[in-house]
Chains A and B, each alone.
Chain A
Amino acid sequence: EDKVVQSPLSLVVHEGDTVTLNCSYEVTNFRSLLWYKQEKKAPTFLFMLTSSGIEKKSGRLSSILDKKELFSILNITATQTGDSAVYLCAVEIWGAQKLVFGQGTRLTINP
């Protein structure tokens, strides 16, 4: 059965800290890995990763994929209170046109 596991499930840090969120996966037919930010309800797209070792970057956020070890990390530097959210990792399966999500990491940034 396809599985995506995120860690930690919950993380509380102070503003300005750097955080690393982890995502490991075991799926039958990997196509891509995606990261989403969910603040209130609708998950919003952050990154899509398809190739190993190529870092994707957007401002203070960055992510990288390791297809050999089957994991990805999402880094957030110089965190701000507005980064508080649930971060979801999802894997896209070839031919299935659906996403398999992890449980999410709830990140809380304290001022």
Chain B
Amino acid sequence: DAGVTQSPTHLIKTRGQQVTLRCSPKSGHDTVSWYQQALGQGPQFIFQYYEEEERQRGNFPDRFSGHQFPNYSSELNVNALLLGDSALYLCASSFGDWTGANVLTFGAGSRLTVL
């Protein structure tokens, strides 16, 4: 049973560029959440997608946007990259009918470095 898969695992961009990160949820899950984890910090909630719509959003600028596809996979897009966007981006999947945070399953993340 495949867990949450993310791609790419590592990538390097320069300031001002745009990046797209991808996530496939765990089998049976239909909700995808994205978190940003800066070095030495805990993860911060970016947004959550369910039924192809953004359901919740954290305190992140509009440069951060996302999409969910009919097969429940999701993309995170970041435009006009800043040095401060360098972080590990974690995807987590769950059921749409939220039964509790213990069902949340995290992927291994995409490590973004902005130079």
Contacts and interface: CB of A to CB of B under 8 A. Distances in A.
B74 interface: no
Count class of interface residues, chain B: 20 to 34
Which secondary structure characterizes the binding site on chain A? strand
Given A42-B90, A42-B106, A104 B42 contact: yes
Contact of B58 (A32, A40, A42, A98): A98
Interface string A20-42: 00000000000110100000111
A8 interface: no
Interface residues of A, number: 24
A97 B102 contact: no
B98 A41 contact: no
B88 A41 contact: yes
Given A42-B90, A48-B100, A48-B102, A88 B108 contact: no
Interface in A87-111: 88, 90, 92, 96-104
B109 A42 contact: yes
B41 A99 contact: no
A100 B90 contact: no
Given A34-B101, A90-B101, A104-B41, A96 B109 contact: no
Interface of A: 4, 6, 31-32, 34, 40-45, 48, 88, 90, 92, 96-104
